A and B are shown apart, each in its own frame.
Chain A
Amino acid sequence: NAGVTQTPKFQVLKTGQSMTLQCAQDMNHEYMSWYRQDPGMGLRLIHYSVGAGITDQGEVPNGYNVSRSTTEDFPLRLLSAAPSQTSVYFCASSYSQGEAFFGQGTRLTVV
C-alpha cells in the first residue's frame, strides 16, 4: 500500500514549457486534490476532483489543468510555465469526509 505517490520529485522548467505532474493513489479514495505551497502562505487549493470524470477549480486554478479519467490518477498540467508557478506542489486524496493523505511533493522551479 503506497498511499499517494507523486512524480517527479524535482523539476526545472523554462518559461513557456509545459509539463504534467503525476499523482496516483491506491486507497480507492474518491476525492483528490492539488495544492501549491509557497513560503509563508500555507497550502492553497489549485484543483480538486470528487470522483472519476468530475473536476472543479480551487482557490488558484489559473495556468493549470486537471483531468480524472480513473479513480487512482489525478494529473496536473502546466500549460505554459511561468516563474510565478515556482512552488512545491502536493497531491492529496481522501474519502469525502475523511482525513486527507498527502504525497511527498514535487518541487518545481521555472526559470
Chain B
Amino acid sequence: GQQLNQSPQSMFIQEGEDVSMNCTSSSIFNTWLWYKQDPGEGPVLLIALYKAGELTSNGRLTAQFGITRKDSFLNISASIPSDVGIYFCAPRRVTGANNLFFGTGTRLTVIP
C-alpha cells in the first residue's frame, strides 16, 4: 500500500504565528491537494498543486509540490483563530484510477 507520512500530528500555536506542515511518501504522485476539515464538516479544498516544483499561494496559505514528486508542504502565515481544524494532504497517484490518498492529518489549535 501507499506510505504517506504527514507531520506534525498536532500543533498548538499562538495567534499571529506562522505554521508549517508537510507530507512525505516513498511513492511518486502527479497531484498534491491540501484540504481543511472543520468539526462536523467534510474536507474543503485549500490548494491544488499539479507540477513538480510548483509553489502556489491562496491568501495566507502557501503550498509547494516537491521537486521529487514525493512530498509537499503547506505554510500558514499569521494564523488566526478560524484556522483551527484538521489539515490533510491528499496526493493523487500517477497511474490507475487516479485515486486520492489522504495523510493522517495535522490538527491545528490556535490560541488567541
Contact = CB atoms under 8 A, between A and B. Distances in A.
A100 interface: yes
Given A42-B88, A48-B97, A97 B42 contact: no
Interface in A19-57: 31, 33, 35, 40-45, 48, 50, 56
Interface in B55-112: 88, 90, 92, 97-105
A38 B61 CA distance: 27
Contacts of A92: 42, 100
Interface residues of B, number: 25
Contacts, number: 55
A47 B83 CA distance: 31
Question: Interface size class for chain A?
Answer: 20 to 34
Contact of A59 (B1, B44, B103): B1
B104 A42 contact: yes
Interface of A: 4, 31, 33, 35, 40-45, 48, 50, 56, 58-59, 90, 92, 96-97, 99-105
